[in-house]
Structure 1
Amino acid sequence: MRQASLLPPAPASKTSPLPVTASLPWIQVAPDAPYFITEDGQPWTPVGQNDAITWPELEGLFRRKNLAAVEEYLAYLQQHGVTCLRLMLEYAQVKHRYFEKPAGTFNPSMIKLWDDLFALCAKYGLRILLTPYDTFWMWLKWKYHPYNKQLGGPCANRGQWLLCPDTLQAIKARLTFVVERWGGSGVLFAWDLWNEMHPAHMGNSSANFSAVATELSTHVRDLEMRLYGRSHPQTISIFGPILYTNPDTADTIFRHPLLDFASTHFYDAKTIDYPKNTVDSAIKVGELVREALEHAPANRPFFDSEHGPIHLFKDKKHTLAPEFDDEYFRHIQWAHLASGAAGGGMRWPNRHPHTLTPGMRVAQKNMIGFLDLIHWATFRRRNLNQEIKCSAPSFAVMGCGDTQQAVVWLLRTDALYQRKRLMNPEATPLNVELHIPYLEDGKYQITTWNTQEGKIREQFQTDAWEGFCCFTVPSVRTDVAIAVVKIG
């Protein structure tokens, strides 16, 4: 790619709006369903993962060391159905990717990096869920961070990030810069206003969660409305287990009136963090989605914006074998979608190197065709994991539905082999009868989907009667996804 076709760098002392080279429609929450649509009314689903500007596929952006490789990667993502990347504006594991250095002075190399990335994402139809700080590494390497008062920054103590008035002003100044320069682009899907908001960031107390959310949300939305006459969706993410130690945080994360959708990070010590097989983690994801939907307003989208085998990778220094990790990934993806969340969730690679495998990309691509079977913009789903009845006790059931549509995923629990870690593709096939409740009487199109091959298994029609739609799915060996849609 010719570098001349990309955006020129901007001086650090001046913010100028991004001259968008290709327009993308903005994303918004559907008015009648807990999913997303484009501004022109087309359904849009976040399919993607966490990425980082220092990881292998994007590292060529910095100082334009290898833009051609970055463009090749983004084209590859587009070809595999990826629609969204979750990215942090800076990555504080290393010292040369700070967005400000010193505090308040925006790094010209980083501005150029983000100019180029926004332009390339526009070219390939990809969008970004953007969060302004890498709070994980910022916390661990606080002594090096430009916001540290000992280095001339505004904050004397990392435990005061979200309490210190000077630090909050610095945070809002950074958000202002980003809104003014890139906020007019449809490449920006949404704001994760603060990554993994935590009591530790505000004096080991969750009392100020709502006040901080209000301050950040209002600042960004007011500025966007003044500049562009509209605003991008907003969320604040949280490390999921905090919801159990500080249950009051759910009021902010799920129900804050200024936030547009809810997102948490799915980590569970016994399953997701340290998977022993490819089944238990998926079942846990189904449980976590149900819990989340019970917290959130009925019409507010929810999705997991970070998950992965973090304990196995970070603490045990072990990278999962691709065959196992591909199946673990695919199962989590379908459990997430079928249970009522938007998309398949966003994996944190937790691999060495930090990249998703080709098999995971195939799994993402294989979900895309299924998405076309459901009318998401009118799908007012509720979780039905416990309400759907299944004739075969050897299947875990994850599903959601409203009065005219349903999504179901069946996962075999008795077909593990290879030391009971992976699914046995030669398991004896079983016929499974399903009873899905709450559907209006009438005729329904049933489409069963092969999640491994990304194609339809069979289609047939049946009737719902007295609030139930009952049918049999034939010859299921390991797993199957099902779309149920009322005809007419």
Structure 2
Amino acid sequence: MRVILSMAAMALMGSACLGAEARPRFDFGPAGDIRVIADGSAIYFTGFGLRVIKPGWSGTLADQAAADPQGISKHAERGAVTYTMTLKGDGVSFRLRQTVARTPTSVRIGYMLTPDRDVPVETVMLQGAMPVAPHAGRTRYVVASAAINSARCPATLPENRILYGGPADWMAFSAPGVEALVIEPEGLSLQFQDDRAFNRQEFALLATAGGGNLTANRPVRFGMTLRFITREALDARERDARRNDVSGIATGDSRKLSISAVTCDRTRVRACETVEASVALAATYANPFDPNEISVDAEVITPTGRKLRAPGFFGVAMRVERTESSERLRVAGKPGFRVRYTPREVGEHRMVIVVTDRTGTVRSRAVTLTVTRGSSPGFVGVSRKTPAYFAFDSGKPFIAIGENVCWASGPSPLSMYEAWFAGLGKAGGNWARLWLAYNEKGMEWSALPTPRPGTGTYAGLGRYALDNAWRLDEIVRMAEKNGIYLMLCIGTYGEFTEGGFFNEGMWVSNPYNKANGGPCATPAEFWTDPTARKLYKQRLRYLIARYGHSPNVFAWEFWNEVPPTPEQARWVAEMAAYVKQHDPHGHLVSTTYGNEDVWKCPDIDFTMTHMYGQAGNTPVFTDQIVAHTRDHRRYGKPYLLAEFGVDWQAPDSKWDPRGTGANMHNGAWAGLLAGGAGTAMVWWWDSYVHPNNLYRVFTPVRRFADAVDWQAEPLSPVANIVVQTAPGAPETFKDLVVSGSIEWGMPASDRYTILHDGRVLGGPIAMAIGSPGRSNPLELPTKLTYVVDLERPTTVALRLGQVCTRATMVIAVNGETRLARELTAGEPGAGPWKSSRKLEQYNVWVSQYDEDIPLELPAGKHEIEVRNTGGDWFQIASITLPGYQSSRYPDVTALALSGEKTLLMWIHNRESSWRTDYDGKTPTTLEGLRVTVPVRRAGRWDVEWWNTRSGQVIRREVVETREGSLLLLPPPLERDYAVRARLAE
């Protein structure tokens, strides 16, 4: 992260030395920014002010020090001074209220920042500069978090400029000859870095209050206390903090191998309840996480004679200390080895603990576990009866209804998960996806200092963050309490990249990187290197041992959005086989992304894709959802649309500022009724779903899903549903916009026939067109063809989206070239594009054109071919066809699933979209519609019409088949209805 600092206060230093006479100084500027923090003339920090940073660290959006002096008010009352002002920048204003309360040796500063509109930001930040000359090599800093970090400010620029990063109880700086400065953050994370990397003679302290999308008129509150204490008092603080320090836990042993006790938390349980065995042992090992040094396992014989092996894990109990603005984890017990086992069978289970180190193996006496019948439905697996869906051990169907809840950015992650899961579970949601990649739940990352630090007490390759591991224990318990089943996504593509649109590239700090002591010189080596594969299996073993006991762990997902290569596909197959061999509870396994090799792997249990629009180019995603879902049906496995949003570049709140949830609602119903095993899983959980209480979207879907016996018979998508207006109405035509949905990759087809009812044959539609000369010419199509049939002469518009580096766009109509144009990309403002971003890992520019390219066409049938003949790639985001869609086929989508005796359907007025709500419009109510849907069995059908907002049945009727179909007459259709029909007995 690179944010340019001003050193306005450097002149204040003069010839001051650190041994000058002590007198605490907190000098404030007219805007409330802290100009100087010093003990006498010994300066610790200067220029400590508030800034709002643009996404991607692309600049400052608002700066406290630059506030208009005429708009600042200052009010003193009850020993405190309050500053109020407005900070302006790029079309948004922030109201800042800052309160300052002083004592002779301290100052507490509280901030309340309120935007006047929704705005995406990288972070809200306080930042100060520490001069290098008097502090380098002399001043000691101490950070108290889950572990104590203590070091001197480096004398010379270190290889890793990030000296500390993450949440902290407090951070202190102790310079020779003067009192120590202690900073106690409230609602802030801290980062201390060496800015000599940017040719500035400063250390920088960044205190960040989170980022993402700030909501209009919703204040962000944070603060900090600055105090001076003696060095002796600092030493006492440090000693006290180390008593509860994770980093002080002993992780090795050198005693003779033995088991002194095995203590189970209970020996009588109901089926699918967990037994935890604590194992008191002595052994010889240096790394308790390495099963080659020490392994602890439970050998179990079930009542039916099955033999299971449950791996054990090393951990330590912790507790949470909470303040008004933060939470901290504290060690609350002795470290040791534990085994968690969840019996499924009723009867007596015989368990023996087996411990192996490099000197040999010892076994415990057998423990008998008595298991009685319980009420739990068991673990989730693939349904044996209807393999397109999931089911519990009991046979009860499991329809996944939920969202991504991937991380909790902030000082109180457990409190955030408590709130999110309570809202989700209460509304009927039952599924959530969590990331375990270098965040507050991650296990393995490079230890500090490192340029891109994770959150937690990471200890490097092959050792795991015990604070994060315990935190994930608690999150799993919260999920169990709220009836939520978790897909644990272990890693993400950013671990193997640099830069990126969201600055998500983290390879520089990946512990597998050879530069950090790992085995891989390049990211590609991760998939083939034997040591890397061995270490990843070690981490899988730990995750299985610690969390696999829970039925509420839905699945292990290896990766988020790692592009499949032949090497990666072989790696996935190897790791999936490892999980199937070592997970005694048999959890589901999947990954993203996948290809034919991945999805056909027998140990991959279900398939997934992710789906977003771009810059608001897709009002309705139903066609794309249908195309993806039905394409994946050929694998004979359940399918989930595991990420979903209006715009991959911005939160859904940008396009839904009033929080109507229209796109989330449509995705939920389309995902389910297109034939998926659950809803489309919305992405923006923290900035969109929770602030707008959009959990309500899940309730009617859950009620509908619970009313269906998904195990009763196989259900298949229904083709040839006809939706028509009442006969006799005159035919009219309206504009049709057809958007691409495959932002990247080779589509199943590059030829798309656009029908007058709005459907597209050949989809899903690709956007990116690559040249034949690219390094991987099979990665993208080199041409796209759109087949249209015009009723009258018109001007068709092709929407040019992004361009990478350069490309040659050739457009032909019916084989005749209409346009040949060289496209370029570059820095913002350097060309005809609207915006640009640089892909640092490839050192190329991607420019956003958002330009309509008109084509005048006569009436009749035409083939429009768009080709890339040279360069890199460009996008055709959409095609607009004026006056194309016939009123005989109203703008309605009808999705249906049917069996011999069951029909499920969703009927959707396509004007009911996020775009209609965003534009402040109301969907046109459609009356007199006639829906003809084929069914497999003739006879009388009991039909229920469901209100998809309330989850209530609003009409019941009996309809008899005619010529193999049901003719359904919907109520007046403003937005959508669902239908459940059963063949009458």
Q: Normalising by the residue count of structure 2, what TM-score does the alignment of the two structures yield?
A: 0.42
Residues 187 and 318 (structure 1), Cα distance of their counterparts in 2 relative to 1, 3 Å cut: closer
Cα shift at 1:86: 0.5
Counterpart in the other structure of 2:670: 335
Q: Which has the higher contact order (CA 8 A, sep 6+)?
A: 1
Q: Which AA in structure 2 matches 1:399? A: A
Cα contact 2:407–2:439 (8 A) shared by 1: no
Residues 183 and 174 (structure 1), Cα distance of their counterparts in 2 relative to 1, 3 Å cut: same
Residues 375-454 of structure 1: matches in 2 within 5 Å? 375-384=709-718, 386-392=719-725, 393-394=889-890, 395-413=892-910, 425=922, 427-454=924-951
Counterpart check, 1:113 vs 2:440? no
Cα shift at 1:218: 0.8
Cα shift at 1:302: 0.8
Once the two structures are superposed, residues 96-127 of structure 1 have per-residue CA deviations (whole angstroms, 9 ceiling, x without a partner) of 33685301011111111111111222222211
Once the two structures are superposed, residues 382-419 of structure 1 have per-residue CA deviations (whole angstroms, 9 ceiling, x without a partner) of 222x4222224111222222222222212223577987
Cα contact 1:155–1:161 (8 A) shared by 2: yes
Q: Which AA in structure 1 matches 2:924? A: A
Q: Distance in 2 between matches of 1:185 and 1:9?
A: 23
- Give 3-state SS (helix, strand or coil) of 1:377's partner: coil
- Give 3-state SS (helix, strand or coil) of 2:463's partner: coil
1:127 paired residue among 458, 480, 485: 485
Counterpart in the other structure of 1:213: 572
Residues 26-175 of structure 1: matches in 2 within 5 Å? 26-33=379-386, 34-55=388-409, 60-61=412-413, 67-68=414-415, 70-91=417-438, 95-97=453-455, 101-136=459-494, 139=497, 140-175=505-540
Residues 27 and 343 (structure 1), Cα distance of their counterparts in 2 relative to 1, 3 Å cut: same
Q: Distance in 2 between matches of 1:405 and 1:9?
A: 55
Q: Which AA in structure 2 matches 1:257? A: P
Counterpart in the other structure of 1:273: 614
Counterpart in the other structure of 1:233: 588
Once the two structures are superposed, residues 341-383 of structure 1 have per-residue CA deviations (whole angstroms, 9 ceiling, x without a partner) of 112121111x873754535311111211111232112342222
2:551 paired residue among 178, 186, 196: 186
Q: Distance in 1 between matches of 2:520 and 2:654?
A: 37
Counterpart in the other structure of 1:323: 658
Higher helix share: 1
Q: Distance in 2 between matches of 1:26 and 1:196?
A: 26
Cα contact 1:312–1:319 (8 A) shared by 2: no
Residues 10 and 292 (structure 1), Cα distance of their counterparts in 2 relative to 1, 3 Å cut: farther
Cα shift at 1:340: 0.6
Residues 401 and 78 (structure 1), Cα distance of their counterparts in 2 relative to 1, 3 Å cut: same
Residues 346 and 91 (structure 1), Cα distance of their counterparts in 2 relative to 1, 3 Å cut: farther
1:363 paired residue among 688, 697, 707: 697
Q: Which AA in structure 1 matches 2:576? A: S
Residues 291 and 127 (structure 1), Cα distance of their counterparts in 2 relative to 1, 3 Å cut: same
Q: Distance in 1 between matches of 2:653 and 2:922?
A: 26
Counterpart in the other structure of 2:641: 304
Counterpart in the other structure of 1:255: 600
Q: Alignment RMSD, CA only?
A: 3.3
- Give 3-state SS (helix, strand or coil) of 2:665's partner: helix
Q: Distance in 2 between matches of 1:471 and 1:7?
A: 62
Cα contact 1:134–1:195 (8 A) shared by 2: yes
Q: Distance in 1 between matches of 2:438 and 2:635?
A: 30
Q: Normalising by the residue count of structure 1, what TM-score does the alignment of the two structures yield?
A: 0.81
Q: Distance in 2 between matches of 1:28 and 1:8?
A: 36
Moved more, 255-264 or 174-183: 255-264
Q: Which AA in structure 2 matches 1:304? A: L
Q: Distance in 2 between matches of 1:417 and 1:234?
A: 34
Q: Distance in 1 between matches of 2:416 and 2:707?
A: 34
Q: Distance in 1 between matches of 2:915 and 2:600?
A: 44
Residues 12-27 of structure 1: matches in 2 within 5 Å? 14=337, 16-17=339-340, 25-27=378-380
Cα shift at 1:474: 2.2
Cα shift at 1:49: 1.0
Counterpart in the other structure of 2:973: 476
- Give 3-state SS (helix, strand or coil) of 2:473's partner: helix
Counterpart in the other structure of 1:176: 541
Cα shift at 1:11: 7.9
Cα contact 2:616–2:655 (8 A) shared by 1: no
Once the two structures are superposed, residues 160-179 of structure 1 have per-residue CA deviations (whole angstroms, 9 ceiling, x without a partner) of 32222222222111111010
Q: Which AA in structure 2 matches 1:49? A: E
Cα contact 2:903–2:980 (8 A) shared by 1: yes
Q: Distance in 1 between matches of 2:924 and 2:438?
A: 45
Cα contact 1:381–1:402 (8 A) shared by 2: yes
Cα shift at 1:36: 1.4
> What are the ranges of 5 or more consecutive residues in structure 1 without an aligned counterpart?
62-66, 200-205, 239-248
Counterpart in the other structure of 2:627: 287
Cα shift at 1:189: 0.8
- Give 3-state SS (helix, strand or coil) of 1:214's partner: helix
Residues 9 and 389 (structure 1), Cα distance of their counterparts in 2 relative to 1, 3 Å cut: farther
Q: Distance in 1 between matches of 2:582 and 2:539?
A: 13
Residues 420 and 134 (structure 1), Cα distance of their counterparts in 2 relative to 1, 3 Å cut: closer
> What are the ranges of 5 or more consecutive residues in structure 2 without an aligned counterpart?
1-317, 321-328, 344-374, 441-451, 498-504, 726-888
| Equivalenced residues, count | 446
Once the two structures are superposed, residues 164-204 of structure 1 have per-residue CA deviations (whole angstroms, 9 ceiling, x without a partner) of 222222211111101011112101111213322314xxxxx
